[in-house]
């Protein structure tokens, strides 16, 4: 998979393992064999490059993006698959373009609904009515589902109507909100007789009752685990993004000396430190703590001190290293989930940032 628009002037590199993307898609099929797969490729496919990801995910049944512009770019690149815009249109010009390009829209609030019902379109669009069952983000209230659904059903501007909702806590299977959201969704949609969709990656893997006709995997496609108690390897998911750089210096640090901005790490004993040419300018998380794992020559090294814009420091005491050696920040050898956990963040954010630093669309 090529990466158009890579930042050639940086030494850190983001490359993609396209086979892993296909493998992870096949894992989605194994977890939800009776559902269609709407692969979520918003935010530039979680930093992996939307167009590259879309072509590699050709076996998916449809794609979801967040913004209209993302769907327009996909169509302009020749993508003919079913496309859903999760935020829907925000004005009539966008809606007309959806109709012209056969892009499906989410309808999540009453102003959108009114615009859709009143529009004069070149042809009808497919609409996914989004129901807020407890996420409290986008979606019409449960009390309004019946009315919104029948208005969409009877509008000449709408071809097919579908129903969807989104979990707030699917990554924690024992959270009671999951069942409450599922039951409420069933309650307000059961007589509608159309395809429904609720499950994100976490629900695909641990909440099969929520699969319905269409599942919406995001993070699992990219080889990250949404759970704190199961690694990507446990779930047989493979890392798609490989984030690497090189060692550019090796030097001794004496006991009592501190390292980097803010002197947040002080050596308790003499050690050998390596400098790696990757920092928050490459999308490496600035909040990574002392001890965050960094892979070098088959060993895991500890991050030492604060992350700089263009470099990080690591402890080389357990590893034979030379200047120029390849360093893996995350990827096959080291899960992005571990780096995220050590940074007070989630893989979603790390992948988006590293991708944004290295890829354009």
Ligand X SMILES: *Cc1c(COP(=O)(O)O)cnc(C)c1O
Residue 166 near ligand X by CB under 6 A: yes
CB 152 within 8 A of CB 127: yes
131 vs 28: CA distance, rounded Å: 24
Name which position in 47, 49, 218, 285 contacts ligand X (CB under 6 A). Answer: 218
Q: CA-based angle 328:334:338, to the nearest 5?
A: 120
Residue carrying structure tokens 């049944």: 61
Measured from the CB atom, is 50 or 327 closer to ligand X?
Answer: 50
Maximum CA extent, the chain: 76
Nearest approach, Cβ of residue 296 and ligand X (Å): 30
Strand partners, 15: 242
**The length of the chain, given as a count of residues:** 361
Q: Which of 81, 261, 280, 284 is catalytic?
A: 261
Annotation marks residue 42 as catalytic:
yes
Which residue in 172, 204, 202 sits closest to 29, CA to CA? 204
Site for ligand X in 21-60 (CB under 6 A): 40, 42
Measured from the CB atom, is 46 or 295 closer to ligand X?
Answer: 46
A 10 A CB-CB count for 118 gives 10
Which residue in 352, 280, 344 sits closest to 312, CA to CA? 280
Annotation marks residue 269 as catalytic:
no
Number of residues that bind ligand X (CB under 6 A): 11
| Helices vs. strands in the chain: H and E counts, helices first | 11, 17
Name which position in 103, 161, 182, 219 contacts ligand X (CB under 6 A). Answer: 219
Q: Which residue is nearest to ligand X (CB)?
A: 218
Nearest approach, Cβ of residue 280 and ligand X (Å): 23
Give the C-alpha distances (Å, rounded to integers) separating 309 from 3, 48, 107, 282: 22, 21, 41, 8
Nearest approach, Cβ of residue 65 and ligand X (Å): 10
**The one segment of 212-220, 257-265, 293-301, 337-345 that binds ligand X by CB under 6 A:** 212-220
Residue carrying structure tokens 């901005």: 261
Residue carrying structure tokens 């496309």: 83
Nearest approach, Cβ of residue 101 and ligand X (Å): 21
Measured from the CB atom, is 226 or 355 closer to ligand X?
Answer: 226
Q: What proportions of the chain, in percent to the nearest 5, are helix, strand and coil? A: 35, 25, 45
A 10 A CB-CB count for 77 gives 12
**The one segment of 119-127, 213-221, 286-294, 307-315 that binds ligand X by CB under 6 A:** 213-221
Name which position in 200, 225, 245, 335 contacts ligand X (CB under 6 A). Answer: 200
Residue 216 near ligand X by CB under 6 A: yes
**The one segment of 92-100, 218-226, 236-244, 324-332 that binds ligand X by CB under 6 A:** 218-226
Residue 165 near ligand X by CB under 6 A: no
Measured from the CB atom, is 40 or 103 closer to ligand X?
Answer: 40
Measured from the CB atom, is 85 or 328 closer to ligand X?
Answer: 85
Site for ligand X in 79-108 (CB under 6 A): 86
39 vs 218: CA distance, rounded Å: 6
Catalytic residues: 42, 261
Q: Can you give the binding site for ligand X, defined by CB under 6 A?
A: 40, 42, 86, 166, 200-201, 216-219, 226
């Amino acid at each position: 998979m090529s990466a158009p628009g890579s930042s050639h002037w940086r030494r850190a590199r983001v490359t993609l393992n396209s086979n892993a993307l296909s493998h992870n898609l096949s894992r989605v099929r194994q977890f939800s064999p009776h559902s269609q797969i709407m692969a979520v490729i918003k935010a530039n496919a979680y930093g992996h490059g939307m167009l590259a990801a879309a072509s590699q995910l050709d076996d998916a049944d449809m794609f979801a993006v967040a913004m209209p512009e993302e769907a327009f770019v996909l169509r302009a690149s020749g993508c003919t698959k079913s496309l859903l815009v999760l935020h829907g249109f925000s004005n009539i010009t966008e809606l007309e373009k959806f109709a012209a390009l056969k892009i499906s829209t989410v309808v999540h609030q009453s102003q959108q609904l009114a615009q859709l019902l009143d529009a004069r379109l070149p042809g009808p669009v497919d609409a996914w009515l989004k129901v807020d069952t407890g996420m409290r983000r986008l979606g019409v209230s449960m009390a309004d589902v019946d009315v919104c659904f029948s208005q969409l059903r009877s509008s000449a501007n709408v071809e097919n109507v579908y129903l969807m909702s989104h979990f707030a806590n699917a990554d924690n299977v024992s959270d009671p909100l999951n069942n409450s959201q599922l039951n409420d969704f069933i309650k307000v949609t059961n007589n509608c007789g159309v395809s429904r969709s609720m499950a994100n990656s976490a629900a695909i893997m641990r909440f099969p009752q929520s699969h319905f006709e269409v599942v919406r995997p995001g993070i699992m496609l990219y080889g990250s685990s949404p759970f704190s108690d199961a690694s990507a390897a446990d779930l047989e998911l493979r890392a798609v993004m490989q984030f690497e750089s090189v060692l550019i210096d090796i030097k001794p640090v004496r006991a009592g000396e501190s390292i980097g901005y803010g002197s947040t790490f002080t050596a308790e004993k003499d050690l050998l430190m390596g400098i790696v040419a990757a920092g928050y300018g490459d999308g490496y998380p600035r909040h990574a703590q002392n001890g965050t794992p960094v892979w070098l020559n088959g060993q895991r090294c500890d991050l030492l001190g604060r992350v700089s814009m263009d470099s990080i420091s690591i402890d080389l005491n357990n590893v034979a290293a030379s200047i120029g050696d390849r360093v893996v920040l995350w990827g096959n050898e080291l899960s992005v989930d571990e780096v995220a956990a050590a940074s007070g963040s989630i893989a979603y954010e790390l992948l988006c940032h590293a991708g944004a630093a290295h890829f354009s669309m």
